[in-house]
Structure 1
Amino acid sequence: MNIIYHDVGGTHSAVIATYIHLNKLPKDKVPTIQEILNVPMFDKLKSKQIGRLILHGIDEFGNRVYTLSRLYHGHPVTNAIRSIPTMAGIDENEILLVDTSPTVNLLMKIGGGSSRRFGMIFFGRPLVAYGTMKTYKNILNLVNKVKIKIAPN
């Protein structure tokens, strides 16, 4: 199966969800700001990567785990991705799209916008990391629901 965590920017909540999913971030505590900032791809997406699936690893069940920056085009992008299995002749259940946008808080929006859109990394990156700490449990809960859904019976 291919699991795709996606949101507007694809570089904050989606990346954190992916690293929780891959057991590279803790499940028993909220990571520090520095631990969050050390996550590869956190707040570091390049413009040429927008709209592309980025593979981060394979989980303990053998699923490939990706992130996707879909900007503000949620339905068109996710609908296009859902059509790929039919085109490739594979089972449509081989793709699980997980929208991490509901876990994003105001601090993440302000920090992410400051860093990514306005280039104020010195201000935005620590703010989005702090906002991520504040919503970490929400992201963790989302990932736990995904893991329950995909776990072998």
Structure 2
Amino acid sequence: MIYIYNDYGGTHTTSLAAAYHLKKLPSNRKLTKDEIQSVRYFNKLTKHDLGKLIFHGIDEDNNPVYTIGRRNSKYVVPAIQEFAALLQERNQLSEKVIISNTSPTVPFVMSVGGFLARGLNINFLGEPLLVAGAKQCCEKIDRLVEETKKMSHSMTAKVIVLENKKFH
């Protein structure tokens, strides 16, 4: 299986989701500031990274984990979905692809922090808000990742798109 976590910017909730997926963060508790800031790519990607699949690692079942920032484009996820299906039809890809949206976990404070840090380049104001937002939503992200893994094993489709609206 190939896991792809996606959201607006691809650097906050997606990075946390990838870290949870790869068991680089402790589960079932709020994260500390240091744990959040040590997550690879957390608040480090820029607009030049949008639309790029960012590799985070291989999970315990030997599945690759990626993230992508899609901005407001409603076409990124369907394009990935269609491309994966095309590769599968042509026998170029035998793995199931799971595309999981982390946007429903984003609290307002994280949106403001992301806008300040990534949008306006005012990191000294944005980063504390991002950390506060990550502390608010980390348990939701952890549950989203567990649900994503569970759904990937229970569904038979070769390409699975999870909108995760129940995490709102």
Deviation at 1:53, TM superposition (A): 0.2
Query: Is the CA contact 1:54–1:68 (under 8 Å) kept in the aligned structure 2?
Result: yes
SS at match of 1:138: helix
Query: Is the CA contact 1:82–1:92 (under 8 Å) kept in the aligned structure 2?
Result: no
Query: Is the CA contact 2:58–2:64 (under 8 Å) kept in the aligned structure 1?
Result: yes
- What is the rounded CA distance, in whole Å, between the counterparts of 2:26 and 2:39 in structure 1? 12
- What is the rounded CA distance, in whole Å, between the counterparts of 1:86 and 1:110 in structure 2? 36
- What is the rounded CA distance, in whole Å, between the counterparts of 1:16 and 1:122 in structure 2? 20
Aligned to 1:18: 18
- What's the TM-score once normalised by structure 1's chain length? 0.92
- What is the rounded CA distance, in whole Å, between the counterparts of 1:81 and 1:129 in structure 2? 30
Query: Is the CA contact 2:6–2:68 (under 8 Å) kept in the aligned structure 1?
Result: yes
Query: Is the CA contact 1:61–1:151 (under 8 Å) kept in the aligned structure 2?
Result: no
Aligned to 2:33: 33
Query: Is the CA contact 2:18–2:56 (under 8 Å) kept in the aligned structure 1?
Result: yes
Letter in 2 for 1:84: F
Q: Which runs of 5+ in 1 are unaligned?
A: none
Aligned to 2:118: 116
SS at match of 1:42: coil
Deviation at 1:148, TM superposition (A): 1.7
Query: Is the CA contact 2:9–2:71 (under 8 Å) kept in the aligned structure 1?
Result: yes
Aligned to 1:78: 77
Aligned residues: 151
Letter in 2 for 1:50: L
Cα-to-partner distance string for 1:56-109 (whole Å, 9 max, x where unaligned): 001111111000000011x31101001112332246862110000000000100
Deviation at 1:28, TM superposition (A): 3.0
Letter in 1 for 2:7: D
Q: 1:49 and 2:52 equivalent?
A: no
Aligned to 1:97: 99
Query: Is the CA contact 2:46–2:118 (under 8 Å) kept in the aligned structure 1?
Result: no
- What's the TM-score once normalised by structure 2's chain length? 0.84
Q: Compare 139-148 and 83-92 and name the one that shifted more.
A: 83-92
- What is the rounded CA distance, in whole Å, between the counterparts of 2:82 and 2:153 in structure 1? 24
- What is the rounded CA distance, in whole Å, between the counterparts of 1:123 and 1:34 in structure 2? 17
Cα-to-partner distance string for 1:118-141 (whole Å, 9 max, x where unaligned): 001011012111111011111111
Q: Percent identity?
A: 36
Q: 1:133 and 2:135 equivalent?
A: yes
